């Protein structure tokens, strides 16, 4: 399980997993119904109000976002 403290770390974790699965950004974006530019910005940790604020609120609450692969 990886501890995620900011949008940059979240983006890095997403990119790492996408690459582990052998997916291109174009394939994953198409599969997820988002644009490639959105996926690129997400992987690059672009801070958005929603995600950035969510992480800040969780931090203030003493909570962490943890990533885990389903079924493991």
**Every domain of the chain and the residues it spans:** 2-67
Domain 2-67, second-level architecture: Orthogonal Bundle (1.10)
Q: In angstroms, what CA-CA distances link 1 with 6, 13, 33, 60, 64?
A: 15, 11, 27, 21, 11
| pLDDT value of position 27 | 94
- Global pTM? 0.74
d(CA 32, CA 18): 12
> What digits encode the pLDDT tens for the residues 10-43?
888 889 999 999 999 999 999 988 889 988 998 9
pLDDT band at 53 (very low <50, low <70, confident <90, very high): confident
d(CA 24, CA 57): 32
């Amino acid at each position: 399980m990886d501890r995620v403290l900011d949008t940059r770390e979240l983006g890095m974790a997403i990119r790492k997993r996408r690459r582990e699965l052998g997916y291109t950004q174009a394939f994953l974006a198409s599969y997820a119904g988002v644009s490639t530019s959105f996926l690129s910005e997400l992987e690059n940790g672009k801070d958005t109000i929603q995600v950035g604020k969510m992480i800040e609120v969780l931090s203030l609450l003493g909570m962490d976002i943890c990533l885990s692969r389903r079924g493991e």
